[in-house]
Chains A and B, each alone.
Chain A
């Protein structure tokens, strides 16, 4: 229990520091740290339930991404500001480094092992983020449709939907 608290606090502080390196806006540093701490807590909880590393990475990014999207909508900032640093603790940085390190050392088996691990972790994380992105986009699209329906056939108001989340495939109504 104490270990969980200590580790989550450490993840919070590490993500806070990483946000400074990435030049995140000062007022959002705390929020990015929160996303990171929550992500790491989810990671530890899943691991302690005897599930795989991949499941843990998935759950962790799911938690970090949901929080980041909520912050992004609440604070009207792009979701990247919270998400990039927030997923840092789980990201397969160590695996990709070890993969290349053993490649240079000539230990091919270990290198392959870590390459596969990199793809597994990064793939699970990307899937989690992708799912959360899509869900939030779905909610957003529906609210926009409803808003434009009220206004009749007038052109959409781009300010209401503009990029509070990753709404890249947002289709616009014709003028």
Chain B
């Protein structure tokens, strides 16, 4: 068996999962299972939220070690599911290594939704969250529009290749401005708080924070702490975007 090719494939699979936002233990597990196919004695995998280290060694062959740095991360559940499925079929012996490598490369390129569909997703989240925060028809309408502008802002800043902090801050800035405009010109007496809270729902790191505590309970302390820091940074970005918009509105003489 070509151990180097196996190693390359395992790390590639792990990298795609990590970039797509999979949990650290899931990545370790997948790489470990693929490496298990080598039948070598020592297979050590160490994954952090920002990188992968894997080693294959045996008394009879020279050790192979691969280090992979992962810097950019954004959630893509489809890729996680695809890679997971490919590695399961590979481990089950249903596909060969070449087929698995090809499919993993395909999975890395696959994009399911176009911007149009994502836009609808943003509008759905903000509009229906307004219902959950006991908003009326007016709040839902305002939140839906705010969500649309939020999607445009996030898309625009990602085209400019700005970092996540700026993307979140710009998105929530635009969102809070839209909400204030609605209250000023269209629905006086609008419940701004409900609109803004529903509007930031697509950005806000509630899931990250919950996963941080889950990781910690699982014994993955480094990943737990890293996620918690990530949640705080995202929340800071969102809050400063909203705060800046509020300040601007106040300066222009609007009610907040």
- Chain A positions within 8 Å of B, measured between CB atoms, are 6-7, 10-11, 13-14, 16-26, 28, 40, 76-78, 80-81, 84, 87-89, 91-94, 96-97, 99-101, 103-105, 118, 122-123, 125-127, 129-130, 157-159, 162-163, 166-168, 172, 175
**Residues A7 and B81 in contact, CB atoms below 8 Å apart:** no
**A99 to chain B: which residues have CB within 8 Å?**
235
| CB pair B213 A17 closer than 8 Å | no
B101 contacts partner chain A, Cβ-Cβ < 8 Å: no
Given contacts A88-B207, A127-B217, contact A159 B88 (CB under 8 A): yes
B239: min CB distance to chain A, Å: 4
The 7 closest A-B pairs by CB, nearest first: A17-B124, A159-B92, A91-B206, A20-B121, A93-B206, A93-B204, A126-B213
Cβ < 8 Å to A, chain B residues 21-41 = 22-23, 25-26, 28-30, 33, 36, 39
What are the residues of chain A within 8 A of B210 when measuring CB–CB?
87, 91-92, 122, 125-126, 129
Alpha-carbon separation in the docked complex, A136 to B186 (Å):
51
Cβ of B195 within 8 Å of any chain A Cβ, yes or no, is no
Q: Indicate whether B57 reaches chain A with its CB closer than 8 angstroms.
A: no
With A40-B132, A101-B242 as known contacts, state yes or no: A25 contacts B112, CB within 8 Å.
yes
| Structural contact, B231 and A21, CB atoms closer than 8 A | no
Contact, CB under 8 Å: A81 / B81: yes
Known contacts A99-B235, A101-B239, A122-B210; A80/B88 CB under 8 A: no
* Cα–Cα distance between A94 and B93 once the two chains are bound (Å): 46
Q: Is the CB of A104 within 8 A of B239?
A: yes
B120 A163 Cβ-Cβ under 8 A: no
The answer to whether B231 and A77 have CB atoms under 8 Å apart is no
A100-B75 in contact (CB<8A) = no
Which chain A residues lie closer than 8 Å to B89 at the CB level?
A: 159
Not counting A21-B118, A25-B82, a sample of 7 additional A-B residue pairs whose C-beta atoms are within 8 angstroms of each other reads A23-B111, A25-B81, A25-B112, A93-B204, A100-B232, A101-B239, A163-B26
How near does chain B come to A161, taking the closest CB pair, in angstroms?
A: 10
Given contacts A100-B239, A118-B209, A127-B217, contact A18 B204 (CB under 8 A): no
- B residues in contact (CB < 8 Å) with A: 20, 22-23, 25-26, 28-30, 33, 36, 39, 75-82, 84-85, 87-89, 91-94, 111-113, 117-118, 120-125, 128-129, 131-133, 197, 200-202, 204-207, 209-214, 216-218, 231-232, 235-236, 238-240, 242-243
Residues of A with C-beta under 8 A to B85: 76-77
Main secondary structure, interface of A, reads helix
Contact of A88 with B201 at beta-carbon distance under 8 Å, contacts A97-B235, A168-B29 already known: yes
CA–CA, A99 and B235, complex, Å: 9
* B132 and A7 contacting across the interface, CB-CB below 8 Å: yes
A–B pairs, 19, beta carbons within 8 Å? A7-B132, A17-B123, A20-B118, A22-B77, A23-B79, A25-B78, A80-B22, A88-B206, A92-B209, A94-B201, A100-B235, A104-B240, A122-B206, A126-B217, A127-B217, A129-B210, A129-B214, A130-B218, A162-B33
